[in-house]
Structures are given as C-alpha cells and as structure tokens.
Amino acid sequence: MMLHCGNVRQFLFEMFTIMLANNCADGRGNRARLVHVRKCSTIAKYAKRFPGANVRRRLPDASAAVAARRRVAHWSFACLMALFAALALLPQYGMADQGAGGATLERRVKAAFLYKFLGYTEFPSGAFADQASPVTIAVAGSDEMAAELSAITAGRAVNNHPITVHALREGESGPVHLLFVAGADCARAGRVIHSVRALLVVTECDSGLQQGSVINFRIVDEHVRFDVSLDAAEKNNVKLSSRLLTVANHVQRGPQ
C-alpha cells in the first residue's frame, strides 16, 4: 500500500511525538521500572547459583541504580534525537512548497519542540508558588499556535506541574514560564519580550536572539532548527539541559 506524502509526514510526526511524550517525559517512572527489573534479575541469578539460599536480601548496590539512571538518560536522549531526525526528513516530502499545508505542518513541528523544551529546562526555585502550580505558556501573535499547543499539552505535566496555554493579548504582562512570540517582525518581538515577564522566551524571527529571546527557531535548508542564547538563559535564571544544547543549530554566548 502506498502512502501519500501528507500521510507520511503525519505518520512520522505523530509517531515520534507520542514516543517522546510517553517514554521520555516520565523519567522517574522509567528509572523505577529499570531498577525493579535489575533487582529481579539479580535475585534470579543468586537463586540459580545458590539453590535454597535466602536471596531476598541480596539486592543490587548503588552502582546498579546509577547504571539504570544512565540507561534512562541515554534512552531519553535517543528519543529526542529520533524526533529531530524525523523532523529533519519532513521537508524531503515537500513541507516547504505545499502552501497552507506546509505552514500547518511547520506550526505542528514547532509546537512539539516548544512542549519538549519545557522538559529540558530548569526553572528557578521561585518560579512556582507550590507543587500544584501550573507551567504557564503564553503565545503572542498566533491563535493557531496557541490552539496547537493546547492540543499537544492537554492532560500532560512537566515535573508534576500541569500545563496551561493561552493566547497573549496586547497589554498583558505575565508572568509566564514560556513565551512564544510568533511572526517574522523582530521589532514587534522585541517589544513583546520587554513587556512580558517571561523566563523561557522563544521567537521565530531572523534576529530573535538579539531581541532577547533564549531560543530562536530557524529554517535551515528547509529544516526546522533552533539557535540558543546562553546569555539570555542566564539573565532569566533558567538552565538548559546539555542534551538540548547538543542538538541546537547554534549555541551563542557573548555578543555577536
């Protein structure tokens, strides 16, 4: 059975987004399962080597837990790389030259990135009033992106914090955890950035980093990529995972 290009793009996007959401976001649950499997395996080995011995107390030491955590970290990073690889393939199926369909796909890809950025960002300790406080995402300049993000994040959480998304209106000032400023108008993006109290700021205009954003989307050879400003991240007191920086198109530090 042959798949149309649109179906292939949708299949790749859905497959890797779901894989990341279900397998990478729940790191603590994965660690617990890995440690449990390791314990069961160790007990079984002792029971086989020493029949009749009391092996219930022979549990793996701390090194086993460290190894399990490393496996989870490697798996999470593999998931992230798989998504980036899949998204890099999308333009080969005509994302850039299918008009409104290409714009919709680009928006979905960027929405998936925005959601995953949260999992690789450490916000300052005072960013949440309590453990039940939500992670707030504000979108300026695109009701469509706000709707896309709402659909992706529905029912999900980041470090046990629920996620809320709303379209930012003129005059609103935050505070928000993640601000996405849509559009190619960098002057407008700069005004929004300086008027809204946001920690992780993401833009998609040519000089977004120079306007004060932490992450700026770029289209490189028809691929959705992103640049990172470490200075802006430090200024906003947010820490980005080294795994995220590894897959960035460019990491900027200091004046450019």
Rounded distance between C-alpha atoms, residue 95 and residue 82, angstroms: 19
Angstrom distance (rounded) from CA 45 to CA 29: 25
DSSP state letter for 21: I
Number of H helices, E strands in the chain: 8, 10
Residue whose structure tokens are 């109290």 = 197
Q: 224 pairs with which residues across the strands?
A: 219
- Closest listed residue to residue 193, CA positions, set 221, 216, 159: 216
Q: Provide the whole-model pTM.
A: 0.67
60's tokens: 């793996």
Q: If residue 151 lies in a helix (H) or strand (E), which one and from where to where?
A: helix 143-153
Q: What is the pLDDT of residue 103?
A: 87
CA 169 to chain centre: 25
Q: Among candidates 71, 128, 114, which has minimal Cα distance to 214?
A: 114
- Distance of alpha carbon 56 from alpha carbon 202, whole angstroms: 51
Distance CA 101, CA 248 (A): 26
Residue 206: which residues within 8 A CB-CB, separation 6 or more?
184, 186
3-class secondary structure, 213: coil
In the chain (256 residues long), the average pLDDT of successive 10-residue segments reads: 43 48 44 44 52 49 60 57 50 48 90 96 94 95 96 95 94 90 96 95 96 96 94 97 96 82
Q: Who contacts 178 (Cβ-Cβ below 8 Å, separation ≥6)? A: 114, 117, 118, 135, 136, 137, 138, 198, 199, 200, 201, 202
Q: How high is the pLDDT of residue 254?
A: 77
Bridge partners, residue 200, by sequence: 178
pLDDT 10s digits, 95-109 = 444 556 788 999 999
pLDDT at 99: 56
pLDDT in the model for residue 49:
56
In tens, the pLDDT along 130-148 reads 989 999 999 999 999 999 9
